[in-house]
Structure 1
Amino acid sequence: MSRIGYKTIEIPEGVTVTRNGNDVTVKGPKGELTETFAADVTMNVNGNEINFEPTGKYDNRMRALHGTQRANLANMIEGVEKGFSKTMKLVGVGYRTQLKGSDLILNVGYSNPVDVPVPEDLDVKVPDNTTIEIAGINKQHVGDFAAKVRAIRSPEPYKGKGIRYEDEHITLREGKTGK
Structure 2
Amino acid sequence: MTESTAPPPAHGHDPHTGGSGAQSSASAVKETRLTNLKTNTAYLALGNKAATKPSSVATRSVLTTFRYVFRYMIRRMFRVAKYAAIGGAIAFVGTGVLGALGTGIAWFAAPSMGMGIGMGISWAIVKFTWRHRPERFRGGWWSEMAERAFEGRDPNKDEEADSEAADAAVQQKMENKRLRQDVWARAETV
Shorter-chain TM-score: what band?
under 0.3
Say which one has the larger Rg.
2
Q: What TM-score results when the alignment is normalised by the length of structure 1? A: 0.19
The one of the two structures with greater contact order (alpha-carbon pairs below 8 A, sep at least 6) is 1
Answer 1 or 2: which has greater strand percent. Answer: 1
The two structures have a TM-score, normalised by structure 2, of 0.18
